[in-house]
Amino acid sequence: MNAVDRTVKDFGEQWLRYSDNEGYYGSLELFSDMLSPFLKLEDLKNCKVAEIGSGASRIVNMLISAGVKHVIAVEPSDSFEVLCQNIKEPDKVTCLKLMGDQLPAYGDLDYIFSIGVLHHIPDPKPVVEAACRALRPEGNFFVWLYGKEENEFYLALIKPLRILTRKLPHLVLASLVLLIYHPLNLYIRLCHRFPLPLREYLLSIFEKMSPEKRKLIIYDQLNPAYAKYYSRQEAIKLLEDGGFVNVRIHHRHGYSWTVIGTKS
Ligand SMILES: C[S@@+](CC[C@H](N)C(=O)[O-])C[C@H]1O[C@@H](n2cnc3c(N)ncnc32)[C@H](O)[C@@H]1O
């Protein structure tokens, strides 16, 4: 199986096991943090939007709570059923079981979001091009990506570990997550006192998650077959090469990128 199919299969299994979006993990407070500094929740009121890679419907429900008029939710994996079941207001959502590059060319969407997805796709350019075709002129594509800069310590640990963990069966991986979970909580306590790597992310986001969601986040880092950590230039180029102009980038909590581009 190639990396594309393997990644979709891995996520299908992941969301079937970790299917709820409870607490801070699925909150408007977190969504507002994700959107900042480019967008405010109010900007989305009555908009027609899409999300590419909707997983278990976390972002779709955030979009509905923010007041959008309609969401196109694109998810290719076996978690499609979980996505449909988890949607809060089904009459406001169209679910499509498609790969991102198959998003129909609606041409009238105000915003398209892709949160934590493009860094799992080995060749994301066709997905970015599809997003560009589906937006209206002056519409915006908003993307969240894993970052490379300031993550050197973390990447030195996670990259060799992932060579093994991405191949592990669920029960073994879930046991490993438990082994990491407790020392990580101790590390977070140390972050309160010392300027350690990943401090900003751990204290401003991760620490607000419930124990179950902390475990899911660790699992989500170790499980997918393919994950790329983008440099600032690579992240900007990703949207420019897909046809977007006025591409702006923000280094989010010192560990990731939010990138937004406009369709001309
Ligand atoms: C980390 S999850 C993010 C889910 C959701 N956006 C969220 O933030 O909760 C990545 C999702 O992208 C989906 N995905 C992977 N490859 C894709 C592709 N080529 N096109 C669209 N979605 C894809 C996976 O199946 C998975 O559900």
- pLDDT category at 252 given cuts 50, 70, 90 is very high
Residue 233's pLDDT is 98
Mean pLDDT, the chain, whole residue set = 96
Residue 6 CA neighbour count, 13 Å, CB half: 12
Beta strands (DSSP E) in the chain are: 48-52, 70-74, 93-96, 109-115, 135-146, 245-252, 256-262
Q: How far apart are CA 134 and CA 103, in angstroms?
A: 7
**Ligand 1 nearest atom to the CA of residue 75, by list position:** 22
Q: Measure Cα distances from 31 to 55, 63, 104, 231, 260 in Å.
A: 15, 9, 26, 23, 15
Confidence of residue 256 (pLDDT cuts 50, 70, 90): very high
Confidence at residue 16, expressed as pLDDT on a 0 to 100 scale: 93
Q: With contact defined as beta carbons under 8 Å apart, do 80 and 95 qualify? A: yes
Whole-number pLDDT of residue 82: 95
* Distance from residue 187's CA to the centre of ligand 1 (Å): 29
Hey, which of 6, 11, 93 would you mutate to test ligand 1's pocket, going by the most ligand atoms within 8 Å of its Cβ? 11
CA 55 – ligand 1 centroid, Å: 5
User: Residue type at 228?
Assistant: K
Q: How do residues 24-65 score in pLDDT, each as one tens digit?
A: 999 999 999 999 999 999 999 999 999 999 999 999 999 999
Would you state the pLDDT for residue 158?
94
Q: Is the pLDDT of residue 3 over 90?
A: no
The residue to which tokens 């007041």 are assigned: 67
C-alpha pair distances (Å), 192 with each of 65, 154, 188, 201, 214: 32, 18, 7, 12, 18
Select from 27, 51, 119, 120 the residue to mutate for testing ligand 1; criterion: most ligand atoms less than 8 Å from CB.
120
Which tens digits make up the pLDDT trace of 141-200?
Answer: 999 999 999 899 999 999 999 999 999 999 999 999 999 999 999 999 999 999 999 999
Q: What is the pLDDT of residue 136?
A: 98
Percent of residues in the chain assigned helix, strand, coil, to nearest 5: 50, 20, 30
pLDDT band at residue 1 using 50, 70 and 90 as cut-offs: confident
Q: Among positive and negative, which fits the CA dihedral 200, 232, 237, 223?
A: negative
Minimum CA distance residue for ligand 1 atom 1: 116
Mean pLDDT of 95-102: 98
Residues in CB range of 233: below 8 A, 6 or more apart: none
CB 237, CB 124: distance < 8 Å:
no
Q: What's the predicted TM-score (pTM) here?
A: 0.96
Q: Provide residues with CB under 6 Å of ligand 1.
A: 7-8, 11, 52-55, 58-59, 74-77, 79, 99-100, 115-117, 120-121, 127, 220
Instruction: Give 117's DSSP letter.
Output: -
Distance 59 CA to ligand 1 centre (A): 11
pLDDT tens digits for 103-148? 999 999 999 999 999 999 999 999 999 999 999 999 999 999 999 9
Q: Is the pLDDT of residue 263 over 90?
A: yes
Residue nearest to atom 13 of ligand 1 (CA): 53
